[in-house]
Amino acid sequence: MAVQINPSILSADFSRLAEEARAVEGADWLHVDVMDNHFVPNLTLGVPIVESLSRATDTPLDCHLMIEDPDRWAPQYVEAGAGSVTFHAEAAAAPVRLAREIRAKGARASMALKPATPIEPYEDLLPELDMLLIMTVEPGFGGQAFLDIMLPKIRRTRELISKHGLELWLQVDGGVSDTTIERCAEAGADVFVAGSAVYGASDPAEAVRALRAKADGASAAAGRACRH
Protein backbone atom coordinates (compact mmCIF):
# COMPACT_ATOMS: atom_id res chain seq x y z
CA MET A 1 0.00 0.00 0.00
CA ALA A 2 1.39 3.40 -0.98
CA VAL A 3 0.64 5.97 1.70
CA GLN A 4 -1.12 9.15 0.56
CA ILE A 5 -1.65 12.34 2.57
CA ASN A 6 -4.63 14.56 1.68
CA PRO A 7 -4.73 17.89 3.54
CA SER A 8 -8.27 19.17 4.10
CA ILE A 9 -8.86 22.79 3.18
CA LEU A 10 -11.73 22.84 5.67
CA SER A 11 -9.00 23.80 8.16
CA ALA A 12 -7.36 26.35 5.85
CA ASP A 13 -7.80 30.12 5.76
CA PHE A 14 -10.77 30.58 3.41
CA SER A 15 -9.74 34.15 2.63
CA ARG A 16 -6.60 32.88 0.87
CA LEU A 17 -7.46 29.44 -0.46
CA ALA A 18 -5.19 29.59 -3.49
CA GLU A 19 -2.15 30.27 -1.28
CA GLU A 20 -3.22 27.61 1.20
CA ALA A 21 -3.54 25.08 -1.63
CA ARG A 22 -0.04 25.87 -2.83
CA ALA A 23 1.33 25.57 0.71
CA VAL A 24 0.79 21.79 0.60
CA GLU A 25 1.87 21.01 -2.96
CA GLY A 26 3.91 18.07 -1.67
CA ALA A 27 0.64 16.37 -0.75
CA ASP A 28 -0.93 13.68 -2.91
CA TRP A 29 -4.39 15.25 -3.09
CA LEU A 30 -6.14 18.33 -1.75
CA HIS A 31 -9.25 17.26 0.16
CA VAL A 32 -12.30 19.47 -0.38
CA ASP A 33 -15.20 19.03 2.06
CA VAL A 34 -18.53 19.92 0.44
CA MET A 35 -21.41 20.31 2.93
CA ASP A 36 -24.98 21.41 2.22
CA ASN A 37 -26.44 22.07 5.71
CA HIS A 38 -28.92 19.23 5.09
CA PHE A 39 -27.03 15.93 5.08
CA VAL A 40 -24.75 17.44 7.74
CA PRO A 41 -25.34 20.52 9.93
CA ASN A 42 -22.78 22.73 8.23
CA LEU A 43 -22.44 24.70 4.99
CA THR A 44 -19.10 24.97 3.23
CA LEU A 45 -17.94 24.88 -0.38
CA GLY A 46 -19.51 24.17 -3.76
CA VAL A 47 -18.85 23.80 -7.45
CA PRO A 48 -17.52 27.37 -8.09
CA ILE A 49 -14.83 26.98 -5.40
CA VAL A 50 -13.78 23.62 -6.83
CA GLU A 51 -13.49 25.19 -10.28
CA SER A 52 -11.31 27.98 -8.87
CA LEU A 53 -9.11 25.61 -6.87
CA SER A 54 -8.55 23.37 -9.89
CA ARG A 55 -7.05 26.39 -11.67
CA ALA A 56 -5.02 27.52 -8.65
CA THR A 57 -3.09 24.32 -7.89
CA ASP A 58 -1.53 21.36 -9.64
CA THR A 59 -2.44 19.11 -6.70
CA PRO A 60 -5.44 16.97 -7.73
CA LEU A 61 -8.70 17.60 -5.89
CA ASP A 62 -10.36 14.95 -3.74
CA CYS A 63 -13.96 16.12 -3.21
CA HIS A 64 -15.91 14.64 -0.31
CA LEU A 65 -19.61 15.31 -0.82
CA MET A 66 -21.48 15.44 2.48
CA ILE A 67 -24.70 16.37 0.71
CA GLU A 68 -28.17 15.13 -0.07
CA ASP A 69 -28.90 13.86 -3.59
CA PRO A 70 -25.31 13.13 -4.67
CA ASP A 71 -26.77 11.22 -7.63
CA ARG A 72 -27.70 14.60 -9.09
CA TRP A 73 -24.74 16.72 -7.99
CA ALA A 74 -21.65 14.51 -7.96
CA PRO A 75 -21.07 14.54 -11.75
CA GLN A 76 -20.88 18.34 -11.66
CA TYR A 77 -17.84 18.14 -9.37
CA VAL A 78 -16.03 16.00 -11.92
CA GLU A 79 -16.84 18.61 -14.57
CA ALA A 80 -15.56 21.31 -12.19
CA GLY A 81 -12.15 19.65 -12.05
CA ALA A 82 -12.22 17.08 -9.25
CA GLY A 83 -10.01 14.05 -9.81
CA SER A 84 -11.78 12.01 -7.15
CA VAL A 85 -15.38 12.35 -5.96
CA THR A 86 -16.73 10.72 -2.79
CA PHE A 87 -20.44 10.30 -2.14
CA HIS A 88 -22.03 8.95 1.03
CA ALA A 89 -23.65 5.52 1.02
CA GLU A 90 -26.34 6.92 3.32
CA ALA A 91 -27.31 9.58 0.75
CA ALA A 92 -26.97 7.89 -2.64
CA ALA A 93 -30.11 6.45 -4.21
CA ALA A 94 -28.23 4.34 -6.79
CA PRO A 95 -24.58 4.02 -5.66
CA VAL A 96 -23.48 1.61 -8.41
CA ARG A 97 -24.93 3.78 -11.17
CA LEU A 98 -23.40 6.89 -9.58
CA ALA A 99 -19.96 5.32 -9.22
CA ARG A 100 -20.04 4.27 -12.86
CA GLU A 101 -21.06 7.75 -13.96
CA ILE A 102 -18.24 9.36 -11.98
CA ARG A 103 -15.75 6.96 -13.54
CA ALA A 104 -17.18 7.49 -17.02
CA LYS A 105 -16.61 11.23 -16.66
CA GLY A 106 -12.94 10.59 -15.87
CA ALA A 107 -12.64 10.77 -12.08
CA ARG A 108 -12.05 8.20 -9.37
CA ALA A 109 -15.25 7.05 -7.67
CA SER A 110 -15.33 6.80 -3.90
CA MET A 111 -17.97 5.96 -1.32
CA ALA A 112 -18.00 7.13 2.31
CA LEU A 113 -19.50 5.50 5.38
CA LYS A 114 -20.51 7.32 8.56
CA PRO A 115 -19.21 5.81 11.83
CA ALA A 116 -22.44 3.89 12.51
CA THR A 117 -22.74 2.49 8.97
CA PRO A 118 -21.30 -1.04 8.68
CA ILE A 119 -19.15 -2.04 5.74
CA GLU A 120 -20.51 -5.58 5.32
CA PRO A 121 -23.75 -4.70 3.43
CA TYR A 122 -21.65 -2.95 0.77
CA GLU A 123 -19.18 -5.77 0.11
CA ASP A 124 -20.62 -6.51 -3.34
CA LEU A 125 -20.24 -2.85 -4.36
CA LEU A 126 -16.50 -2.67 -3.71
CA PRO A 127 -15.42 -3.61 -7.27
CA GLU A 128 -17.34 -0.56 -8.54
CA LEU A 129 -15.19 1.80 -6.46
CA ASP A 130 -11.69 3.23 -6.58
CA MET A 131 -11.65 4.25 -2.92
CA LEU A 132 -13.67 3.67 0.25
CA LEU A 133 -13.75 6.32 2.98
CA ILE A 134 -14.25 5.31 6.60
CA MET A 135 -15.27 8.35 8.64
CA THR A 136 -13.44 8.39 11.97
CA VAL A 137 -15.62 11.23 13.31
CA GLU A 138 -19.22 12.18 12.67
CA PRO A 139 -19.19 14.19 9.42
CA GLY A 140 -19.97 17.89 9.53
CA PHE A 141 -17.23 19.72 11.40
CA GLY A 142 -13.44 19.76 11.48
CA GLY A 143 -11.34 19.55 14.61
CA GLN A 144 -13.18 16.61 16.19
CA ALA A 145 -11.46 13.94 18.27
CA PHE A 146 -10.58 10.68 16.55
CA LEU A 147 -12.95 7.77 17.29
CA ASP A 148 -10.80 4.76 18.24
CA ILE A 149 -13.84 2.51 17.94
CA MET A 150 -13.51 2.83 14.16
CA LEU A 151 -10.22 0.89 14.07
CA PRO A 152 -11.89 -2.56 13.96
CA LYS A 153 -14.07 -1.33 11.08
CA ILE A 154 -10.97 -0.21 9.18
CA ARG A 155 -9.45 -3.66 9.73
CA ARG A 156 -12.60 -5.44 8.54
CA THR A 157 -12.71 -3.25 5.45
CA ARG A 158 -9.07 -3.99 4.61
CA GLU A 159 -9.82 -7.71 5.01
CA LEU A 160 -12.73 -7.47 2.55
CA ILE A 161 -10.58 -5.57 0.06
CA SER A 162 -7.88 -8.23 0.32
CA LYS A 163 -10.43 -11.05 0.13
CA HIS A 164 -11.57 -9.82 -3.29
CA GLY A 165 -8.06 -8.92 -4.50
CA LEU A 166 -9.05 -5.33 -5.22
CA GLU A 167 -6.79 -2.34 -5.92
CA LEU A 168 -9.02 -0.21 -3.73
CA TRP A 169 -7.70 2.71 -1.69
CA LEU A 170 -8.88 2.86 1.94
CA GLN A 171 -9.20 6.41 3.22
CA VAL A 172 -9.79 7.68 6.75
CA ASP A 173 -11.05 11.15 7.60
CA GLY A 174 -11.54 12.74 11.01
CA GLY A 175 -9.12 13.44 13.84
CA VAL A 176 -6.11 12.19 11.86
CA SER A 177 -2.94 13.60 13.43
CA ASP A 178 0.59 12.66 14.37
CA THR A 179 -0.84 10.81 17.39
CA THR A 180 -3.49 8.79 15.52
CA ILE A 181 -2.20 8.21 11.98
CA GLU A 182 -0.03 5.23 12.92
CA ARG A 183 -3.01 3.37 14.40
CA CYS A 184 -4.98 3.97 11.21
CA ALA A 185 -2.10 2.74 9.05
CA GLU A 186 -1.61 -0.35 11.19
CA ALA A 187 -5.34 -1.12 10.80
CA GLY A 188 -5.02 -1.01 7.01
CA ALA A 189 -5.75 2.55 5.85
CA ASP A 190 -3.51 3.98 3.14
CA VAL A 191 -5.06 7.39 2.36
CA PHE A 192 -5.20 9.92 5.20
CA VAL A 193 -7.19 13.15 5.34
CA ALA A 194 -5.67 15.63 7.79
CA GLY A 195 -7.05 19.10 8.43
CA SER A 196 -5.92 20.91 11.55
CA ALA A 197 -2.87 18.63 11.84
CA VAL A 198 -1.61 20.20 8.59
CA TYR A 199 -3.08 23.68 8.43
CA GLY A 200 -2.71 24.26 12.15
CA ALA A 201 1.04 23.68 11.88
CA SER A 202 3.53 26.50 11.39
CA ASP A 203 4.84 24.71 8.29
CA PRO A 204 2.02 22.80 6.52
CA ALA A 205 4.38 21.19 4.00
CA GLU A 206 6.60 19.84 6.78
CA ALA A 207 3.49 18.56 8.59
CA VAL A 208 2.57 16.59 5.47
CA ARG A 209 6.06 15.08 5.32
CA ALA A 210 5.98 14.14 9.03
CA LEU A 211 2.56 12.49 8.73
CA ARG A 212 3.69 10.57 5.67
CA ALA A 213 6.78 9.29 7.48
CA LYS A 214 4.72 8.06 10.44
CA ALA A 215 2.16 6.35 8.22
CA ASP A 216 4.88 4.78 6.06
CA GLY A 217 6.61 3.37 9.13
CA ALA A 218 3.41 1.95 10.60
CA SER A 219 2.32 0.46 7.25
CA ALA A 220 5.70 -1.20 6.79
CA ALA A 221 5.62 -2.61 10.31
CA ALA A 222 2.09 -3.94 9.81
CA GLY A 223 3.13 -5.56 6.53
CA ARG A 224 6.07 -7.32 8.21
CA ALA A 225 3.79 -8.56 11.00
CA CYS A 226 1.32 -9.97 8.43
CA ARG A 227 4.10 -11.85 6.61
CA HIS A 228 5.12 -13.51 9.88
162 is in an annotated binding site: no
Q: Which residues, at least 6 apart from 124, have a Cβ–Cβ distance to it below 8 Å?
A: none
Q: What are phi and psi of 205, to 5 degrees?
A: -65, -40
Annotated ligand binding at 173? The verdict is yes
Residue 142 marked as a ligand binder:
yes
130 is an annotated ligand-binding site residue: no
Q: What's the angle, vertex CA 140, arms to CA 136 and CA 146, rounded to 5?
A: 25
| 64 assigned binding-site residue | yes
196 is in an annotated binding site: yes
Rounded CA-CA distance 39/88 in Å is 9
175 is in an annotated binding site: yes
The verdict on whether residue 148 carries a ligand-binding annotation is no
83 is in an annotated binding site: no
- Torsion angle, alpha carbons of 113, 119, 123, 125, to 10: -10
Query: Out of 33, 62, 130, 190, which one is annotated catalytic?
Result: 33
3-class DSSP state of 174: coil
Catalytic, out of 28, 130, 173, 190? 173
Q: Is 71 annotated as a binding residue?
A: no
Q: Is 173 a catalytic residue?
A: yes
**Residue 174 among known ligand-binding residues:** yes
> Residues forming the annotated binding site for a divalent metal cation?
31, 33, 64, 173
Which residues carry out catalysis? 33, 173
> Residues forming the annotated binding site?
8, 31, 33, 64, 140-143, 173-175, 195-196
> Residues forming the annotated binding site for substrate?
8, 64, 140-143, 173-175, 195-196
